[in-house]
Amino acid sequence: MLQVKRLDQPAQEISLTLKEFQVLTYLMENCDRIIPGSKLRSQLWDLDEEPISNVVAAQIRLLRRKFARHDCDCPIETVPGQGYRFRTLP
């Protein structure tokens, strides 16, 4: 469960899967840096897992959809051809 608190709104909870949580955590730990998808994959996934779960883009998409469903802006942005970045600065 992820608690999101915005200044002007009451706190809400968004439930995440383990993988989504791991991706988000990793990106937050390395915020404002571009993390290549291959790096994420080698850090967070075993080789033997099912193909679907090691498609990083799919996890990012799921994360974004969850954020959108709760009317939150997703802080993860895609840098085409390079990777992903968790933005803390506007």
Partner 1 sequence: MNSHQLFRRSRLRLATWYAIVMGGILSLSGFGMARALVQANWVALEREIESIAGTLHDSLEPMLPPSEDPTDVLQQIFPDLCVVDQPCEPNSSLIQRHTLGVSDRTTYYIRLFDNQGNLLAFSPNQPTTLPTTLNPDLWQTLQTLEGKRYHQFTTILHSAHTHSESGQLHNGESWGYLQVGRTLAAFDAEMQRLRWVLLGGIPLILGLIAVSSWWLSGLAMQPIYQSYQRQQQFTANAAHELRSPLASLLATVEASLRLPQSKQVPDPVLLQAVERQGRRLSQLVTDLLLLTTLEQNTTTKPPQPCCLNDIIADLTEELAELASATDIHLSSQIVDIEIHVMGLESQLYRLVSNLMANAIQYTPSGGSVVVSLANHDRSATIAVKDTGVGIPTEEQSRIFERFYRVNSDRSRKTGGTGLGLSIAQAIAQRHHGQITVTSEVGNGSAFIIHLPHIAIV
Name the residues that contact partner 1, by CB under 8 A.
36-38, 47-48, 50-53, 55-58, 60-61, 78, 80-83
Which residue number, 30 or 53, has a Cβ lying nearer to partner 1? 53
Identity of the residue numbered 61: R
CB of 36 to partner 1, least distance (A): 6
Instruction: Considering the complex, state which of residue 6 and residue 33 has its C-beta at the smaller distance from partner 1.
Output: 33
Dist. CA 46–CA 67, nearest whole Å? 26
